[in-house]
Every structure is written in structure tokens, then in C-alpha cells.
Amino acid sequence: MTDNGYEPKIVAFLCNWCTFTAADLAGTSRIKYQPNIRIIKVMCSSRVDPVFILKALLDGADGVLIGGCAPGDCHYSKGNFYARRKVALAKTLAQNMGLDTDRIRLSWIPASEGPKFAGVVNEFTEKIKKIGANPAGQEVFI
């Protein structure tokens, strides 16, 4: 917990085959990481419609993490390449519509890398804590 007690809420869309499995591994390996993420499991990172990311931000999520298999290692062979394009679209729209793109992160985390998963979550949480609360969360008329 930081000095001001601000605890961000981060929505994490994790692919079933790699990043979610990595999260599972981090848990079974008893690796501690920041408890700020709310995980939503998707079968593939390409399932994440840019709308999901933008809706999370508009509804006040302080950060959105999208986790998928490393390029070339996708369970469906090319899903993560499509995911990257979708995240690029969401980030571009966010950037041009007054939302902070630093709140969106796309990471490739293989199934065997529990420590990497914990590292990404910690790093991202720290970053969001520095940026502060999402102003959309305080907008009544959004």
C-alpha cells in the first residue's frame, strides 16, 4: 500500500493457454504479487474486442492488462498477432479520445513463467499507482 492508501483496480484479460496458466503457476509456486488485478479468463487474447478495453476504462478501471502467448507460440498459432492489432486499435482510439494509453498494457507471458507474470503485475500496478486514479471513474455524466 502506498502512502495515500490508493489501491488501483486493474482488469486483466488473460489467455487460457499461456498467461492464465502462468498466473496459476505463480499461485501454486507461492509467488506473491500485488492483489490489484481482477482476472478475466479468455480462450485467446484475440478474443479481447477493443470495446472490452475501452469499456473497462470508461467504467473507471485504473488499468487494463491483456496477456497472451509469446509471438510464434500461440495455442491457435496466430491469435496473438490479431490481438496485437486489436490492442493497437484500442490504444490509438484511447489516445485520441482523451483516455490515457499508459493504462493499457499488452504482455506476452508464456505458461511456464510464473515469476514473469508476478513481475509484470507488480510493475504495472506500481506504474498505475504513480499515474493515479482514472478520472473516468469520477465522471457522473460519462
Partner 1 sequence: METFINSRMTISEFIAAIFDKRETAGVAAMAKLPSGNKAAYTLFTDKKSAENSIPFFPAMPVNAAKAVSKFTRQASPSKEVAMFLRPCELRALTELVKIKQAGLDNLLLISFDCGGVFPFKEISISDEEKLKSYVDAFKNGKNCEGIRPVCAACTKFVPKENQADIVISLIGRKPHDPLVMSFPTEKGKNTAKALGIDLPDKTHTSPVAPSTAVESLFKEREEKEKKLKEKIKTGFADTGGLVSMFDRCISCHACSYVCPICYCKNCYFDSQTFEYFSESYFIRMGEKGALRLPVDRTLFHVGRLSHMGLSCVACGMCEDACPVNIPVSQIFKTIGSEAQAVFDYIPGKDLNEALPLLTYSESELETFED
Q: Which residues bind partner 1 (CB under 8 A)?
A: 49-51, 54-55, 58-60, 71-72, 78, 81-82, 84-93, 95-99, 105-108, 134-142
Is the Cβ–Cβ distance between 127 and 10 less than 8 Å?
no
Q: Which is nearer to partner 1, 28 or 98 (CB)?
A: 98
Tell me if 136 sits within 8 A of 142, measured CB to CB.
Answer: yes
**Cell matching residue 126:** 506500481
Q: Is the dihedral of CA 33, 91, 55, 76 positive or negative?
A: negative
CA distances from 44 to 37, 40, 53, 75, 91 (A): 18, 11, 15, 8, 19
Q: How far is the CB of 110 from partner 1 (least distance, A)?
A: 14
Question: CB of 30: closest distance to partner 1 in angstroms?
Answer: 26
Tell me whether residue 16 or residue 84 sits nearer to partner 1 (CB atom): 84
- Least Cβ distance, residue 71 to partner 1 (angstroms): 7
Closest approach, Cβ 66 to partner 1, in A, equals 10
Q: Which is nearer to partner 1, 30 or 111 (CB)?
A: 111
Query: Which residue, 31 or 58, is less far from partner 1 as judged by CB?
Result: 58
Residue 21: exposure state from Cβ atoms within 10 A (0-12, 13-18, ≥19): buried
